[in-house]
Homo-oligomer: A and B are copies of this chain.
Amino acid sequence: MAIRQRAIQAEDKQERHHAILDAAERLLMRSPERIANVAEVADEAGLAKGTVYLYFPGKEELLLAVHERNVDRFFRALIDRLAVDAPARVEDVLALTHAHMVDRPLFLPLAARCFGAMGQSVPPEAGFAFKQRMAERLSRAGAGLERHFPELTPGDGVALLRRSYALIIGLWQMSAQSAGAGCPAALAGDPSPVFNFAYPAELDRALRALWSGSVGRPLPAAGRSDGGAR
């Protein structure tokens, strides 16, 4: 039983589309250790299972769309920022990264899942199309980056962003966070901070190192001071 009426106008459909993504997102936040099945998503959205398939060709495409929406928000913010003439510093990029990726507990588990499934359960065409759109975003942001960091020669911008993204995903997968809500005792008892590190702070340090090495000069060491947030 649907909560709302029918989506007849194109914009109503957009809304439904988003409502389904929202539902999937909510479920993902509620239990990041599980990927909900289509029935649950439909239920959470107040729709019938079949209805989900009116808006998405399949489950993988739905998850990819959730992820892409988040990615898009980040890239839109980044591209906008880089379009402004005021010189952009690493600080600014890090801030956006935190706002859109790190601080949204949804982003990283989903990103990991999407890349992991990419070529397994994701239909090849869907995966390819996704990567194409991502490439478009990365290219534009990369070009913007090159405007602000003269050390970067054409192409270096995209490469740096790509590597940063890899670092973001990779570090998160190694962090204790990615273990879900499990083993709290273990976490507390782990004396070695090798994996049980504070992801946000560690990410900052790692990205700074990467960026510094990429532009070939030290970068200002930042004002963010939440170095221990977990």
Residue count of chain A within 8 Å CB distance of chain B: 62
Q: Is the interface of A mostly helix, strand, loop or mixed?
A: helix
Chain B residues lying within 8 Å of A173, measured Cβ to Cβ, are 115-116, 118, 166, 169-170
Interface residues of A in 185-230 (CB under 8 A from B): 186, 190, 192, 194-195, 197, 202, 205-206, 208-214, 216, 218
Q: Report the nearest B residue to A182, measured CB to CB.
A: B124
- Closest Cβ of chain B to A8, distance in Å, is 13
Whether A88 is near chain B, meaning CB under 8 Å from some CB there, is no
The docked-state distance in angstroms from the alpha carbon of A124 to that of B166 is 24
Given known contacts A124-B186, A128-B179, what 16 new A-B pairs fall within 8 Å (CB)?
A115-B116, A115-B174, A119-B180, A120-B180, A125-B183, A128-B183, A131-B179, A132-B192, A162-B197, A163-B206, A165-B170, A165-B174, A167-B167, A170-B171, A210-B210, A212-B213
Contact A202 B159 (CB under 8 A): yes
| Interface hit among A9-17, A41-49, A133-141 | A133-141
A195 to B166, CA, bound (A): 11
A192: chain B residues at CB < 8 Å are 132, 135-136, 139
